[in-house]
Amino acid sequence: MIKGNAASLISHIRDGINKLIISELEKHGIEGIVPSHGDILVCLYKHDNLTMKELAEYIHRTKPTVTVLVNKLVSYGYVTKEKDTNDHRITYIKLTRKGKELQPIFKEVSLRIRETMYGGFSEEESEQLEYLLEHLRRRF
Amino acid sequence: MIKGNAASLISHIRDGINKLIISELEKHGIEGIVPSHGDILVCLYKHDNLTMKELAEYIHRTKPTVTVLVNKLVSYGYVTKEKDTNDHRITYIKLTRKGKELQPIFKEVSLRIRETMYGGFSEEESEQLEYLLEHLRRRF
DNA sequence: TGACATTAGTTAGACATCAAACTATAATAA
DNA sequence: TTATTATAGTTTGATGTCTAACTAATGTCA
């Protein structure tokens, strides 16, 4: 019997994930950082020196939002902004040492999230979950 | 092979669902209403005459948030606020005629969301999806 | 070369959301 | 009965998020 409440479930799970991320970061002494900031930092851990536009695309947020998020990261000293010397429209975002030092913490938080999400499922269930979610994602 | 990206997928699907809800409402000429407003109205369709506290619990938002949301619905003429005559702390939220008139539209939008979410899945896959999401939900 | 279009990023304004502090009312206990 | 506690709701201030409008720089095409 299908209930048709998948949308509601997803919404609540998302809220739960976000709260868990924030509380895990706070456990590691990191305050004022929300998942979107984390998305940006994780992006930069994979590939440092990204432009605002690239960051916006990667984290699926608009440019004004990324401006706000990055400015906060700058004010916390985790990243810096540098203008391209050739094309003065472009700004590169780079990790500072302080920003790089957070990487292991993000790795750990990420692990914790995965444990929470997949922990209760078998291998087959986990694969099935990803399969279904990936298909779902393509419809939006 | 498990990728471990379920959290990210859920986040993006949630964004997609919300955008779809808003655009579907706009197609029906309803502007300025976000999913949380819809949650409140749908709550009231199931059981009219709820208190602010009850609404906050049902839609999983804080009381200040519900204050803002309900005030907007009042300004749009969809609901009214009435103080309890015995216990003056309590405020009841009631649907107006205009609010009740939206019910069929919300039914239709809800149907449209369900079609989008379940449309590409078999009966078994749909059930599996709900099973997995319900278990996931309990971990937060 | 010069007018127009495109692109990168920010600013402005709006709003949902939250935590913390507040007001007002009701309930309980000394 | 009075003082304390609990409850319902709002206000305040902060922040992430968006769209629309803006600035500044680059590219294009006549």
Work out if A61's Cβ lies within 7 angstroms of strand C. Answer: no
The pTM of this model reads: 0.92
What are the backbone dihedrals phi and psi of residue A49, each rounded to the nearest 5 degrees, phi first?
A: 70, 55
Residue A115's pLDDT is what?
95
Q: Residue A20 gets which letter from DSSP?
A: H
Q: What is the pLDDT of residues B81-90, one digit of tens each?
A: 999 999 999 9
Q: What is the pLDDT of residues A5-35, one digit of tens each?
A: 999 999 999 999 999 999 999 999 999 999 9
Q: Which of A55, A51, A48, A53 is nearest to A96 (CA)?
A: A48
d(CA B84, CA A88): 62
Rounded CA–C1' distance between A62 and D19, in angstroms: 10
Residue B112's pLDDT is what?
95
Interface of A with B in 52-111 (CB under 8 A): 60
Determine contact: B46 vs chain A, CB below 8 A: no
Residue with tokens 């790795």: A107
Residue with tokens 């471990």: B4
Work out if B27's Cβ lies within 7 angstroms of strand D. Answer: no
Rounded CA–C1' distance between B2 and C24, in angstroms: 55
